[in-house]
Structure 1
């Protein structure tokens, strides 16, 4: 049986998908309110990985400690996306993390993977 194909329906630049909007509402905004997060911006940073190859993290986040994180929000991973975040983590001095939404069966919420 062939694996299901997923359409790569692209939203306009600057438009969040449902998973990204849910992450902003459930994690980033409460983090701002609690004082843990000083600033964040959706697609606010574009990183050059090689000639004609760029990576734009979903969210650039600055914690009140001064740590700058690049956060990628995923419902599922493609090989291309995983390679780009790994390459970016090797080249740039930010903390890179991938956040995946967990199903209700998995207990809901978010799982976090840090790339170094």
Structure 2
């Protein structure tokens, strides 16, 4: 894996992208949207934790990060360490900021399952900031366990 380095032209292009308005993505209505709103909110309300507290999936992924740190693959990681301000003033706090042994910084978002709004937010963040955004989904035990990794990097 190489270290992210900008040429002067790439840096200027990046700055111009940051200054340009990011179009609001069009989100198609999924079949889930047909579910009663009260049922969806009840499920979400049960899953909310206080800021700074990890859910079981995040805690399991932190153990995987600790193992990678012990193996020397990563140097440092932190949970909910930074908040990005996206176009329109929308705030996005990723689950983990990870520094690889190469010096690269990655942003890891851990999900048990992906809602489309979360995927759109991470895509917008990837377009606005010079970090690699990685989506991590816990694979169910019946599918062999482990982690599915989705790289949002588009440079």
**TM-score relative to the length of structure 2:** 0.70
Which string of whole-angstrom CA distances, capped at 9 and with x for unpartnered residues, describes residues 91-111 of structure 1? 111010000000112110000
In 1, distance between residues paired with 2:129 and 2:146?
A: 28
**Counterpart position of 1:16:** 54
**Counterpart position of 2:120:** 83
Structure 1: 5+ residue stretches without partners: none
In 1, distance between residues paired with 2:146 and 2:94?
A: 20
SS of the aligned residue for 2:57 comes to: helix
Bigger Rg, structure 1 or 2: 2
**Counterpart position of 1:38:** 75
The aligned runs of 1:1-116 (5 Å cut-off) are 3=35, 5=40, 6-8=43-45, 9-25=47-63, 27-116=64-153
**TM-score relative to the length of structure 1:** 0.92
Which structure: greater strand fraction? 1
In 1, distance between residues paired with 2:127 and 2:88?
A: 16
Pairs aligned (count)? 114
Which structure: greater helix fraction? 2
Q: Which runs of 4+ in 1 moved over 6 A?
A: none
